[in-house]
């Protein structure tokens, strides 16, 4: 199916083949960024952020600017008519009149699905509460494919707040569509991966293993995906204080990891990865943030129906 005009609310909205198209275009953009610098001239992206963000908002805005397009939006809902009580539906309907595509982050799970009822232009979920964050997943898939060469046959450990972390929900659902993936869920009892996600991966024929002990499994991992304990999702702050430092990956622990293991993290981090890991070549979380901009360039192009730029070889051949 064509990606032009589609919405992206959850990671399963695109088939494996469609994701492949986006990742291939991302890799082409990485190799030839200057060729894409004007392809979105005259197009406008709206970024509506009802919740704080550094990477997602700024990488979307950078992506659109690097494609030659423009950006409008808000990063603080109180500066919009939301503060006067305007509904989500009316906001989306209005912004649809101005922009060619809409990116929205919202604290309420399910708000992205709700927004798609009102949009007239492609709509992208930039994170809805503890539910999903599908463009972080595209970022993660591009990182794994670029640095490991394939999305198949990996043992992935996901560590930290697996209950509230929307990035891990989207990533697990997406990775369960590839062959030979083993999931290891590493969390305290209070922050375990939700049952509906575990059921979904079993339906795809994958095994998973759960533990609260990172040291026990670290040496068996191809990828360690660390996550922050999501303070903003806790009703009981005492419980947050109890759990916030449950896992701290540091240089000394990294000695027990494989030489080619990737340490990924959607960021922001708090304490869960010590800064002494940052210089380790296996720590790829800032590289991952950069891949996020390229994959969002590709996603914007695909949803707007912008044609891929031919490479040099083809242009010479045509001439």
Site track 239-268 with ligand CP (rule: CB under 6 A), x = hit: ---------------------------xxx
Q: Which of 105, 228, 296, 302 is catalytic?
A: 105
Q: Pick the binder of ligand CP from 10, 43, 55, 169 (CB under 6 A).
A: 55
297, 60 contact by CB (below 8 A): no
Query: Quick check: is 154 catalytic?
Result: no
How many residues would you count in the chain?
319
Say which residue the tokens 């304490």 belong to: 271
Give the interface segment with ligand CP, choosing from 48-56, 62-70, 141-149, 180-188 (CB under 6 A): 48-56
Q: Pick from 263, 121, 130: which is nearest to 193 by CA?
A: 130
Greatest CA separation found in the chain?
68
**Residue 230 interacts with ligand CP (CB under 6 A): yes or no:** no
Give the interface segment with ligand CP, choosing from 12-20, 52-60, 93-101, 185-193 (CB under 6 A): 52-60
Question: Strand pairing of 182-186 and 208-211?
Answer: parallel
Query: Quick check: is 133 catalytic?
Result: yes
Binding to ligand CP, residues 103-162 (CB under 6 A): 127, 133, 136
Strands (E), the chain: 44-49, 70-74, 101-106, 123-128, 155-159, 182-186, 208-211, 223-226, 262-264
Rg of the chain over Cα atoms, rounded to whole angstroms, equals: 20
Cα 163 to its chain centre, rounded Å, is 17
Q: Pick the binder of ligand CP from 21, 27, 37, 53 (CB under 6 A).
A: 53
Structure tokens at 274: 């010590």
**Residue 286 interacts with ligand CP (CB under 6 A): yes or no:** no
Closest to ligand CP by CB, 166 vs 198, is: 166
**Residue 75 interacts with ligand CP (CB under 6 A): yes or no:** no
Query: Quick check: is 56 catalytic?
Result: yes
Binding site for ligand CP (CB under 6 A): 53-56, 127, 133, 136, 266-268
Catalytic amino acids? 55-56, 84, 105, 133
């Amino acid at each position: 199916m064509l990606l032009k005009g589609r919405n992206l609310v959850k990671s399963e909205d695109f088939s494996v083949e469609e994701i492949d198209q986006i990742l291939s275009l991302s890799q082409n953009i990485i190799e030839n960024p200057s060729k894409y610098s004007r392809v979105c001239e005259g197009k406008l992206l709206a970024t509506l952020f009802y919740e704080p963000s550094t990477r997602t908002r700024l990488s979307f805005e950078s992506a659109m600017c690097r494609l030659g397009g423009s950006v409008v939006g808000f990063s603080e809902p109180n500066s919009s008519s939301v503060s006067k009580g305007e509904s989500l539906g009316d906001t989306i309907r209005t912004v649809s009149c101005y922009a060619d595509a809409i990116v929205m982050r919202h604290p309420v799970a399910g708000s992205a699905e709700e927004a798609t009822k009102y949009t007239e232009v492609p709509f992208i979920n930039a994170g809805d509460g503890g539910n999903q964050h599908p463009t972080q997943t595209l970022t993660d898939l591009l990182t794994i494919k670029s640095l490991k060469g394939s999305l198949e046959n990996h043992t992935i450990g996901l560590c930290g707040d697996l209950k509230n972390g929307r990035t891990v929900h989207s990533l697990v659902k997406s990775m369960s569509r590839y062959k030979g993936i083993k999931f290891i869920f590493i969390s305290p009892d209070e922050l375990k991966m939700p049952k509906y996600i575990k059921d979904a991966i079993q339906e795809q024929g994958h095994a998973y293993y759960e533990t609260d002990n990172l040291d026990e499994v670290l040496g068996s991992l191809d990828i360690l995906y660390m996550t922050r304990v999501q303070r903003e999702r806790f009703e009981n702050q005492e419980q947050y204080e109890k759990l916030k430092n449950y896992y701290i990956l540091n240089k000394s622990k990294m000695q027990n990891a494989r030489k080619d293991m990737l340490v990924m993290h959607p960021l922001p981090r708090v304490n869960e990865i010590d800064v002494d890991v940052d210089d380790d070549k296996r720590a790829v979380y800032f590289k991952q943030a950069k891949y996020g901009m390229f994959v969002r360039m590709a996603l914007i192009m695909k949803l707007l129906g912008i044609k891929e730029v031919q490479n040099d070889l083809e242009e010479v051949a045509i001439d």
